[in-house]
Amino acid sequence: NMFDAAIHHYKRILEIRPDEEDYSNLGYIYYQLGRYQDAIKSAKEHAKKYPRSAKAYDNVAVCYDYLGEYEEALQYNERAAK
């Protein structure tokens, strides 16, 4: 399906030419598919590569919030606000 193709596409791009926006887009696709653990993993990789990216930390927080893991969400929200 289209989402699987997009995931494959973004993973391949990130292998060749890592880019902040592509990390974010991959996480967003996982989020839209309800694959929250994959979205968290992608956003954490994003944050590791771009530690000054508030967007990366916010994306992790949104997923944790959706999963009801509010303490984790709060920690990442605080990191995003720095």
Q: What's at 39, amino acid-wise?
A: A
DSSP secondary structure letters along 23-75: HHHHHHHHHHTT-HHHHHHHHHHHHHH-TT-HHHHHHHHHHHHHTT-HHHHHH
State how far the Cα of 74 lies from the Cα of 23, in Å rounded to an integer.
22
**Residue 64: per-residue pLDDT:** 96
Which pLDDT score is estimated for 36?
A: 94
13-69 tens-digit pLDDT: 999 998 999 999 999 999 999 999 999 999 999 999 999 999 999 999 999 999 999
Residue 1 has a pLDDT of 85
- The whole model's pTM is what? 0.88
Q: Tell me, what's the pLDDT at 49?
A: 92
Q: In this model, does residue 71 exceed pLDDT 90?
A: yes
